[in-house]
Chain A
Amino acid sequence: MEARARILARIRKALKERPKALLPELPHHALPADPLDLFLRRLAENGAEGRLLDQEGALALLRELAQGLPGAAYGRGVPEGFRPLPELPPEEAPLGVSWALFAVAETGSVALSSEDGRKAQLLPPTHLVLVERERVYPTLLEAFQDHKALPSALGLHSGPSKSADIGQVMVKGVHGPGRLWVVVLT
C-alpha cells in the first residue's frame, strides 16, 4: 500500500491550491423518433449487413448463411429455434451466432454481454447477431443510462474486424470476424 499512500498524498498536495472544476450536466440529445432506420443505415456505413426481419425471415437468413457449413458456435442466450446447425466449438466454427443485450443507432453498434459468451463473438470468421427491436437505443447515452449494472464484460461491435496497418490498405477479418450480420427481430 506504500505506493498508494504516496501517490494520493502527492495528488492532494498538488490540488490544494487548484480551483475545483465543476462536473458538467449530461447533455440532452435530440432523439430520432424511430431509431431503427438510423441503426440500419449506420450498420451499412460501418460495413456490416443489417436486416429487419420477423422470426421466420431471420430463420431463413440464418439457413441461407449456414448453407454448406458443418456447424456454428452459439451464444448462451440464443433461443433453441435459432440453432439450425450442429454446435461446434468457437475455435472451429465458421459461423458464430449471438444474442445482443442492446443496440445503438447513433453508432451502428450491437452490445454483447459476457453472459452470452465471448468466444462465439470473436473467433468464427462470420458473426450473426440477433437483437430485439425494442432494444435498439437511439444513443449511447440512453443505453448507458439504462445499463448501470453491467456484465463482467460488454463488447460493443460496430462492424467487421479491420486494420489498415499494412501500407494503409484496409484489410478485413484481421483477428475478429471479417463479416458482421445483424438481424433486428420484429
Chain B
Amino acid sequence: MRAKAKRYPKEAARLLRERPSVREAVTGATLHFERNRLRAYGEIDTEAWRERARRVKDHVLTHLDHYLELAEGRLRENGVQVHWAEGPEEAHRLLREVVARHGVRRAVKAKSMLTEELGVNPLLESLGVEVYETDLGEYLIQLLGEPPSHIVGPAIHLTLKEIQELFHGRFGTPPDAPPEALAQVARRVLREAFLTAELGISGANFLVAETGTLALMENEGNIRLSTSLPKVHVAFVGIEKLLPRLQDLALFLPLTARAATGQRLSTFVSLLQGPAREGEEGPEEVHVVLVDHGRTALLADPEAWEVLRCLRCGACLNACPVYRQTGGHPYGYVYSGPIGAVLDPGLLGLEEAYPLPYASTLCGACQEACPVKIPIPRLLLTWRHRAVEEGLAPAWERGAIGAFARVMGSPALYRLLSKALRGLPLPQELQVYLPVLKAWAEGRGPLRPSPRPFHELWKEIKEEARGG
C-alpha cells in the first residue's frame, strides 16, 4: 500500500466534513470494543498479565536472531518451506512462483495487515488470480475497493445502510435486507471460493519458536477454512511475531483476545505445524515467509524499538479519542490510530509519516489499554522531537513553543498576558488569518477567553474547601 500519511490533517478534515456517518459508526463500534475490553481486563490480574507479556516480548526481541533460527529449524522439520523477505519484492517473487507452479486461478485470503503492507492483492490480481478476502469485514471493503479502517474491524466505519446499498447493487438483495440475510449472501459466495481455491493466504498472530507453530486467531472460521481447504497455504509472518515456548500461547492468546474484543479467547484458534500428514485432510504444501519490511531498522532504534512488542489487537485505536472521530482512513497507511502514529514513522521513515505523531491528545488512554505496555505517549513525543530536530515540523511550532515556555515559566508574565487577552477578545476575522488558529477555527465557533482566569477560580475552590 502506498503511504498517504502526509495528507493526514487534510484527509481527516475532509472526512469529517463529507462523511459524518463515519464518525458515528466508528465511535459506536470503538466504544463497544472498549467496554468489552474493560470488562474482560476486570476479570484478571491485568497488571500481572500485561507485565509478563511485556517481559516475554522483550526477551524475544532481544534474542530475535536466536529465536528466528530456532523457529526456522522447527518449521523445516515440520515440512514447511521457509522463506525470508526484505519486503514486497521478495514476497511477490515467491507468490509468482507458487501461482505459476500450481496453476493458481483463485486464492482465498485471511485478514492480515502484513499482506496489506506488501500489496499482496494487487500483485495476485495482476497475475490474473481471483483473490477473495474471506473475513466478512475485509470482504466488504474489498467490494468497495477501500483499505481497512481498523486493525481488527476493517469495516467498522461502514453503517448497516451503506452495506445494504452495496449488496443491493452488487447481489440484488432487498435494499433493507437484515444483517443475517447479507451474511448469508457473503457466506454463499465465499463458501464457493473456499471449495475451489488452489491457494490459501494468511498472516500469523504468533510463531512459536520451540515448536514451529503458527497461531492464528479469529471469530468467523474463515482462517481455519483458508488454511485447511486449498492445497497450498502461504503464511506471511513479521519477524517480530515470535514467541519462545508453546506455553507462552496460554498467556498471549487470551490476553490478545481480551484486549481486542473483550473475549476470553477468540472463537477459533488455529495452531498450525505444517502440511497435512499421511492420510490427513489439509494443505499439501505450506510456506512461511519471514518478513522484515522495516522491522530490523526499528529494532536498531534505541528509542523506538519497543513498538515491536505490538500484538495488533487494536485496543489503542478503540481507546483513542482522536481515532474515534475519523476511523483509520485519514492516517493514510495500513496501521492507524495511536499504534500507527508510532509504528508508521518507524516503518516508512518519519518524512513519509510526518504528521501522524501529532494525531494524538497525549491523554495516555492508548498506553493503559495496551496489553504489552507499549509506552505510546513517550514514543509520540520521541517522534515529535525528531520531527522538530529534522526540520519537518513547521517553523512556527518551534517559535510558538519557545514563546509558550517563556510565558508559562514566569507567573507574572502569564498573568499579564492572560489579562491582556481577556481585555482584547480576538475578533473572528482575525482568527481566520492567524496560523494554527485558522485550522482550529474551521468548523468551530469563535474563540472566547474565559471571563475569569483559572488561578482565581482555583484560589476560590481551595478557600471553599478549607472553609467548608
Contacts and interface: CB of A to CB of B under 8 A. Distances in A.
Contacts, number: 236
Interface in B210-251: 211, 213, 219-222, 224-225, 227-229, 239, 244-247, 249-251
A7 B191 contact: no
Contacts of B160: 166-167, 169
Given A166-B136, A174-B220, A156 B269 contact: yes
Contacts of B25: 167-168
Contact of B190 (A26, A143, A175): A175
Nearest to B80: A152
Contact of A163 (B48, B63, B137): B137
Interface string B302-338: 1001000000000000000000000000000000000
Contacts of B228: 118-119, 122, 153
B62 interface: yes
B86 to A, nearest CB: 5
Most B CB within 10 A of own CB, among A46, A153, A155: A153
A171 B183 contact: yes
Given A3-B85, A165-B153, A144 B265 contact: no
A4 B191 CA distance: 37
Contact of A122 (B69, B158, B221, B280): B221
A139 interface: yes
Given A14-B299, A122-B228, A152-B275, 19 more contacts: A6-B86, A7-B86, A7-B292, A11-B296, A15-B65, A15-B299, A19-B62, A20-B62, A46-B264, A106-B264, A108-B265, A141-B251, A152-B273, A153-B276, A155-B269, A165-B140, A167-B159, A171-B183, A175-B222
Interface residues of B, number: 93
B247 A141 contact: yes
Given A8-B65, A119-B228, A153-B282, A165 B136 contact: yes
A22 B55 contact: yes
Given A22-B59, A150-B273, A166 B140 contact: yes
Contacts of B305: 14, 18
A176 interface: yes
Contacts of B194: 175
Most A CB within 10 A of own CB, among B59, B179, B222: B179
A161 B191 CA distance: 14
Interface string B52-84: 100110110111110011000000001000001
Contact of A171 (B179, B254, B271, B277): B179
